[in-house]
Structure 1
Amino acid sequence: MENKNARPAEAETSANHTADTSNLATAAQRQRMLEALRSGPVSTFDARARLNILAPAPRVKELRESGFVILTKRESLPDERGIVHPGIARYVLISEPPAKAVA
């Protein structure tokens, strides 16, 4: 029997499968962003809506400072109301820092 009240499955995006988004600590936000980037590109809108990261640019900057290579693409993207905004950042993880050798 079909459940008529069931919500349709969300399209799978890199930002859909994340850990606890209620933790607002900088380190937790940085970890959520990294996990999402490992799955694919993340836009500013994705980060805000699905990762609960209102300012993703500082988290990306911190990841870059830790050795992650992250490309920023500027695109025209629609918000949740369908209004297209120019210049929205979409972040793409290019490479991770090499693992440190254990002596």
Structure 2
Amino acid sequence: MEVKSYTQLPSLQKVFLASVDSFSEKLEGDFLAPGESYFYLWKKGNYRWYGDSWEANVFPGNQILYRGSNFTLIEWEDGKKQYISPKGDSVIFFNLESKSYKDAEGKSVTP
């Protein structure tokens, strides 16, 4: 697996930050977003930000799920991150020092 440390992964909380509080429970639908991307807002405050080869599903107060063309990245609000490779193996970073590797079947492995 190519990801070995927590700091190699971007902060999805910073990349996909959108202030939707004033629109929650009022608007729902698709909107144009920056950089040839689109934005879908649900009335409950969840949103999906997406382009041709990627999407980020944001569940405020819980997690962000990013799917790119060759990997998936999940970041929880408490800072925990999971990287899933195209083969299905993954690494979960509980914090800067603690991590766990799993194969495509979810069995623990040593890198």
Q: Normalising to structure 2: TM-score of the pair?
A: 0.23
Q: Normalising to structure 1: TM-score of the pair?
A: 0.24
Name the structure, 1 or 2, with higher relative contact order (CA <8 Å, separation 6+): 1
Structure (1 or 2) with the greater strand fraction: 2
Structure (1 or 2) with the greater helix fraction: 1
